Structure formats: structure tokens, C-alpha cells
């Protein structure tokens, strides 16, 4: 091979004639050059576009860039299928042009696509069996209009959060002359423009909007200063509500919690730590109804909703932590002063309260069936008075 061809081949992949550099702009868009598309229904079209404005050279000789998800979910984007859109851009792909070994669509590394793109046959290789063997196309991407350099599809419908397809580490060369068969090239400056946002559901992601107690214990709202903390893990997109409610058990049997979401729920999944018996999650419109056997006194339970899916396809994933919300259960704090003490015994013993619903101090809800025999009666007073229970103060118990 002639020395001129060797030098031109080296220049095509980094060495350059020192002149004023052209600038290649790159961006990722959807159909109609949209910057945001709805991906909840399945695969969407993706286009990597480029343009060289105020060009001094004769068009693009080589280009490349990496593709990744810059969104909060950090999705694996290696399932994206990208190729040349045809026409002059075919001269950049193997065998007409040169690409990395995996091809024009990039190499899958660590969830990203590395070095999408390729270069033209600027070395003037005549073939017939070795590559590159193509004919150099001049004036590619020169001008103000965006040109599709790569096109394809990506399916983000199974992701738990929106995907932001973003380019980085771009590189490019431009043709320093329009005569061949060997074309000298210049290194170009590359700037990265807009990214493509792919939304995955009507709420943009599967997010919590609230957690409330329902059956068999106080469901009448939030009370400050009590013993039951409900918290939600923001890693799963939850809106942390800091709900605090002193909550007592009702009659013996199962209890329930309702979790509300921003969109309709198609299927539910739930586990708890520590484990609870008869733990079931049932979709109910935009909510998930969770029922379980009466838990241990003074214990805080972390609930994990990983796998719960919305009708739009978004799911609750593990995020950076497993707990999605936490509930603590307590017996014995009858007067809701965050302490199990002598005053609770006095409240139970008062005839005006003993067989009735409490409504003192703005507190509503059932009186407590402390011995869980299905009725509120004299035996409950005995449970509070027992030395083993009477001074057992769970007010310091907190969620993780």
C-alpha cells in the first residue's frame, strides 16, 4: 500500500491535517424530530441525527458516539437496534465502510451501546474482498438541515421509569477534499445536542401517592405525635408523606392497608419483613389493597411491592432499597400519648369510655380489643394491668 494511503487511513481514525475544524452536531430524536415520545405501548422509532453548519470541508468522513440512558432508572439500552438509514450513509457501514467489530449499531458494554457509527472508504481500498470497498459520498451532513445518521427502534415499555436516550463521547472526521480515490481528512469538533425522552406510562412512572390503613384498625386519618409511622422509599419514585398515626388493633383477624398510585394497577405483588401470614395484594383501580394476619405487638413491618405493575406496563422495581413503605403496630397506648403507662389503665376503666368509641381530644376510632377475643370488655382491662404488658412501652419503635 502506498505511503499516502497509509497516512490517509491513519487520519481517518484520528490523525488530521491541521486546519480550522468543522463542527458536527449530534442529537437523538423520535418520529417527527420529537424530543419526547410515549413508549408505554411498545417499541418506538429512534433517530441519531447530525449536521455540519458553516462547513469548510466537504462533508462527513467518519463519525461515532456512545448511547446510554441518562434518566434516573439507568436502563440497559443494548436492546436498541440501530443501523444506517440507507443512501449515502451506507458508505459508512461495513463492508462499504469501516465500523467497530460489532457493526454500525455499536458494541454492547455495561448496558450502553459503544461507538455507534463508522467511516467511509477514504483510503481508496479497491477490494474486492477486503473492506472498506465503498465509494466515498461527499457533502454528507453539510448544511443547516439535520441528517439521519442512524435509525432503528428501542422498547422501553418494561422499564419502571422514563428513559432518556443520550449520546456522549462523540468523534468525527470531515473530508478535506472532494477528489479521490484517496481522501485526506480533518478532525472535527463534536457537540452533543438534545436527548430523546421515552415515557413509559400515563404517570410517566409508577409512583405512590399515599398509604392508608383500612380494615380492622383506625382508618380515620392522620394524627400527629403517635406511634405508627408510615414511610415510603423515594428510590421507587414515591412521594414521601411522613404519615404518623397511633393505631390500635381491632377485633381478632386480618388487617389491611391501601396503597394509592398515580395510575391504574393491573397486577399486585407484595412481601414483608418480618414475614406476615396470609399476605395478599389485590388491585383495585388506582390502588393496591393489602391484607394480612394480625401482626406482632410492637413490631415494625417493611412492605416490598417489587413486581406490582400498572396497566400501562410500568412496574415497581427494587430501586436502591427493598422497602417501599413501613408500618408499625402497637397495643396498649389507649390514650394516644405515645407511652404505655398507668394512664392507659385509667382510660379503660372509666365507665364512660369502657364500652364506647373514643372521641376525646379529636381522636376517633375504636377502643382497643387488647386480648383479641373479638369484643371490647372487662378482660381487656386485665390485659393492660398485667405486669408483663403494663410497662411494655413501644413508643421508641421506629421504621428502618
3-state helix, strand, coil in the chain (%, to 5): 10, 35, 55
Instruction: Decide if pLDDT at 255 tops 60.
Output: yes
Tens-place pLDDT, residues 301-346: 888 888 888 876 667 765 544 567 777 665 555 555 555 566 655 5
Instruction: Decide if pLDDT at 164 tops 60.
Output: yes
Please state which of the ranges 53-67, 84-98, 255-269, 384-398 shows the lowest mean pLDDT: 384-398
Q: What is the residue-wise DSSP string for 192-228?
A: E---EEEE-STTSS--EEEEEE-TTB--S---TT-S-
Name, in order, each residue with C-beta under 8 angstroms of 387's C-beta and a sequence gap of 6 or more.
none
Per-residue pLDDT band at 201 (split at 50, 70, 90)? low
* Residue 190: all three cell numbers together: 463534536
Q: Average of pLDDT values for 81-108?
A: 96
Instruction: Decide if pLDDT at 78 tops 60.
Output: yes
The secondary structure of residue 361, as a DSSP letter, is G
Q: Report the percentage of the chain scoring pLDDT > 90.
A: 40
Instruction: Look at residue 186 in the predicted model and tell me its pLDDT.
Output: 96
Instruction: Look at residue 344 in the predicted model and tell me its pLDDT.
Output: 58
Torsion of CA 127, 131, 137, 142, to 10 degrees: -160
Name, in order, each residue with C-beta under 8 angstroms of 105's C-beta and a sequence gap of 6 or more.
80, 81, 82, 83, 113, 116, 150, 152
| Largest CA-CA distance found in the chain, in angstroms, rounded | 108
Question: How far is Cα 6 from Cα 11, in angstroms, rounded to an integer?
Answer: 9
Q: Average of pLDDT values for 362-387?
A: 50
Helices (H) and strands (E) in the chain — how many of each?
5, 22
Instruction: Look at residue 191 in the predicted model and tell me its pLDDT.
Output: 96
Q: Which helix (H) or strand (E) holds 243?
A: strand 243-244
Task: Answer with the residue of higher pLDDT: 379 or 121.
Answer: 121
Instruction: Decide if pLDDT at 385 tops 70.
Output: no
Name, in order, each residue with C-beta under 8 angstroms of 5's C-beta and a sequence gap of 6 or more.
123, 124, 125, 182
Per-residue pLDDT band at 11 (split at 50, 70, 90)? very low
Per-residue pLDDT band at 157 (split at 50, 70, 90)? confident
* Residue 391: all three cell numbers together: 410497662
User: Where exactly does CATH 2.60.40.680 map onto the chain?
Assistant: 3-199
Instruction: Look at residue 10 in the predicted model and tell me its pLDDT.
Output: 39
Peptide bond into 274 cis (omega under 30): yes
* Residue 368: all three cell numbers together: 382497643
Tens-place pLDDT, residues 265-315: 989 999 998 999 899 999 999 889 898 887 776 677 888 888 888 876 667
Measure CA 51 to chain center: 32
Return the CATH number of 3-199, one of 2.60.40.10, 1.10.3720.10, 2.40.100.10, 2.60.40.680. 2.60.40.680
Instruction: Look at residue 382 in the predicted model and tell me its pLDDT.
Output: 53
Average pLDDT over all residues of the chain: 74
Tens-place pLDDT, residues 26-52: 999 999 999 999 887 789 999 999 999
Instruction: Decide if pLDDT at 350 tops 70.
Output: no
Q: Which of 52, 24, 12 is nearest to 186 (CA)?
A: 12
**Residue whose C-alpha cell reads 414521601 in the numeric block:** 240
Amino acid at each position: 500500500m502506498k505511503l499516502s494511503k497509509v497516512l490517509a487511513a491513519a487520519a481517518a481514525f484520528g490523525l488530521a491535517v491541521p486546519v480550522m475544524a468543522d463542527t458536527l452536531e449530534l442529537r437523538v430524536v423520535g418520529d417527527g424530530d420529537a424530543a419526547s415520545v410515549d413508549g408505554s405501548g411498545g417499541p418506538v422509532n429512534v433517530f441519531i441525527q447530525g449536521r455540519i453548519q458553516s462547513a469548510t470541508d466537504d462533508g462527513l468522513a467518519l463519525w461515532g458516539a456512545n448511547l446510554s440512558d441518562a434518566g434516573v432508572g439507568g436502563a440497559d439500552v443494548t436492546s436498541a437496534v440501530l443501523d444506517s438509514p440507507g443512501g449515502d450513509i451506507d458508505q459508512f457501514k461495513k463492508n462499504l465502510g469501516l465500523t467497530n467489530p460489532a457493526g454500525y449499531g455499536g458494541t454492547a458494554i455495561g448496558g450502553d451501546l459503544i461507538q455507534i457509527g463508522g467511516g467511509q472508504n477514504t483510503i481508496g481500498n479497491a477490494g474486492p474482498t477486503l473492506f472498506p470497498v465503498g465509494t466515498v459520498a461527499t457533502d454528507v451532513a453539510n448544511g443547516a438541515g439535520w441528517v439521519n445518521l442512524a435509525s432503528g427502534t428501542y422498547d422501553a415499555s418494561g422499564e419502571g421509569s422514563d428513559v432518556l436516550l443520550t449520546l456522549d463521547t462523540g468523534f468525527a472526521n470531515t473530508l478535506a477534499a472532494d477528489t479521490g480515490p484517496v481522501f485526506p481528512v480533518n478532525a472535527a469538533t463534536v457537540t452533543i445536542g438534545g436527548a430523546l425522552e421515552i415515557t413509559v406510562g400515563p404517570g410517566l412512572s409508577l409512583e405512590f401517592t399515599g398509604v392508608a390503613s383500612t380494615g380492622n384498625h383506625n382508618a380515620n386519618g392522620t394524627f400527629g405525635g403517635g406511634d405508627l409511622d408510615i414511610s415510603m422509599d423515594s428510590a421507587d419514585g414515591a412521594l414521601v408523606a411522613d404519615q404518623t398515626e397511633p393505631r390500635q388493633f381491632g377485633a381478632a383477624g386480618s388487617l389491611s392497608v391501601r396503597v394509592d398510585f398515580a395510575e391504574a394497577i393491573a397486577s399486585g405483588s407484595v412481601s414483608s419483613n418480618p414475614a406476615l401470614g396470609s399476605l395478599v395484594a389485590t388491585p383495585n383501580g388506582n390502588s393496591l389493597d393489602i391484607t394480612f394476619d394480625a401482626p406482632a405487638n410492637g413490631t415494625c413491618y417493611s412492605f416490598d411491592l417489587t413486581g406490582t405493575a400498572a396497566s400501562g406496563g410500568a412496574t415497581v422495581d427494587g430501586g436502591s432499597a427493598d422497602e417501599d413503605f413501613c408500618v408499625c403496630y402497637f397495643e396498649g397506648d389507649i390514650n394516644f400519648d405515645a407511652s404505655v403507662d398507668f394512664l392507659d389503665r385509667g382510660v379503660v376503666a372509666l365507665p364512660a369510655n369502657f364500652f364506647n368509641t373514643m372521641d376525646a381530644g379529636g381522636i376517633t376510632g375504636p377502643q382497643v380489643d387488647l386480648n383479641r377475643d373479638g369484643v371490647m370488655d372487662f378482660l381487656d382491662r386485665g390485659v393492660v394491668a398485667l405486669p408483663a404488658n403494663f410497662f411494655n412501652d413501644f413508643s421508641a419503635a421506629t421504621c428502618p
